Amino acid sequence: MKTLAFKNNDKIAQIGLGTWKSKEGLVGEAVKSAVRSGYKHIDCAATYGNEDEIGEVLKDLFTTDEIKREELFITSKLWNNAHKKEDVIPALKQTLSDLNLSYLDLYLIHWPVAFQPGLEGMPESDADFASLDELPLIETWEAMVEAKKQGLVKHIGVSNFSIKKLKDLMSKTDENPEMNQVELHPYLHQDELVDFCHENDILVTAFSPLGSQDRIPEMKAADEPSLLENDVVKEIAAQNDVTSAQVLLNFHLQRNCIVIPKSTNAERIQQNLKAADFDLSKADMKKLKGLDKHFRYVNGKFFETSDGKYHNLYDE
């Protein structure tokens, strides 16, 4: 598997298994099947509500020696209800306990959005959000730095951060984020953000690479364009004798990014890993560039408040 390196030379496999939307009763088998197919990287998050089932499977895989802990790269993310400085390490410890791990390879601030500390479920009113003046991202970040110092995590980063938010955070700390996980695909290239990250030694992970069609209806807009059914993608797939999904995943490898396709289907899990076994040509990449229309499947509207605390989440 192709890898990218952190500054300290630790490696991360460029294709990892996504677990957002992976259902209870299926996610454990998906992780097992992924590891057995050769995946070395699993992307998790507390809010996905499935870390305990993944933890059971990891425990089995490690005790039966199918894979060693240190051979796997495991990411998780701090949920918005634990941004308060003193809540970060307890939230991380809960994730470690659910995943049956003593450390994470990577821990990310999931969103630049803070809920009222301890809020269960999704906010129902503006009052359920805490502003970034009340709970500044730098304070959350300082607790992330502390978690790394304590050896609970090897690397720390952020998710859904714009250049503006990265610059602001970086101006206030000596420990820069090592990763920014954001939505990326041929309809959303975000060249400027990807370049900024790479110039500043921040690795980039692409989420929703296949268009996340299994999102709940409330998160979907009417007439969303399909990536898998796009004619240009289909034509490039046919020319390379691969599937549309493999084109959409290889696209990120060509951009030196990491990608985390979600699947709970054993055959598609294998197919997605094999997206690393070929290279899109420069001409193919140019055709995919032509599809860029700055379209987001995860538009962030669900985190906007009417009192102005949160709006224009992506600063654009």
**For binding to ligand A2P (CB under 6 A), which residues are involved?**
18, 208-214, 228, 243, 245, 261-265, 268, 271-272
Q: What is the smallest separation between the CB atom of 268 and ligand A2P, expressed in angstroms?
A: 4
Cβ–Cβ < 8 Å for 209, 185:
yes
**Within the chain, where are the H helices?**
27-37, 51-63, 85-99, 137-149, 163-170, 191-199, 231-240, 244-254, 266-273, 282-289
Q: Which is nearer to ligand A2P, 37 or 305 (CB)?
A: 37
Q: What is the smallest separation between the CB atom of 155 and ligand A2P, expressed in angstroms?
A: 22
DSSP string, 162-231: -HHHHHHHHTT-SS--SEEEEE-BTTB--HHHHHHHHHTT-EEEEE-TT--TTS-GGG--TTPPPSTT-H
Q: What is the smallest separation between the CB atom of 199 and ligand A2P, expressed in angstroms?
A: 27
CA distances (Å), origin 286, targets 188, 233, 235, 290? 14, 12, 13, 7
Taking every pair of Cα atoms in the chain, the longest distance, rounded to a whole number of angstroms, is: 54
297 in catalytic set? no
Give the separation between CA 258 and CA 239, rounded to whole angstroms: 24
Q: What is the smallest separation between the CB atom of 186 and ligand A2P, expressed in angstroms?
A: 12
Q: Which is nearer to ligand A2P, 97 or 226 (CB)?
A: 226
Cβ–Cβ < 8 Å for 42, 19:
yes
Rounded (10°) CA dihedral 233, 249, 110, 221: 20
Q: Which is nearer to ligand A2P, 77 or 262 (CB)?
A: 262
Q: Which residue among 48, 107, 187, 297 is the active-site one?
A: 48
Q: Which is nearer to ligand A2P, 1 or 228 (CB)?
A: 228
DSSP string, 65-88: TSS-GGG-EEEEEE-GGG-SHHHH
Q: What is the smallest separation between the CB atom of 202 and ligand A2P, expressed in angstroms?
A: 22
The tokens of 46 are what? 């507390």
Q: Which of 92, 109, 117, 103 is nearest to 173 (CA)?
A: 109
Q: What is the smallest separation between the CB atom of 185 and ligand A2P, expressed in angstroms?
A: 8
The residues pairing with 76 across neighbouring beta strands, listed in sequence order, are 107
Q: Which is nearer to ligand A2P, 91 or 259 (CB)?
A: 259
Residues annotated as catalytic (active site), given as ranges: 48
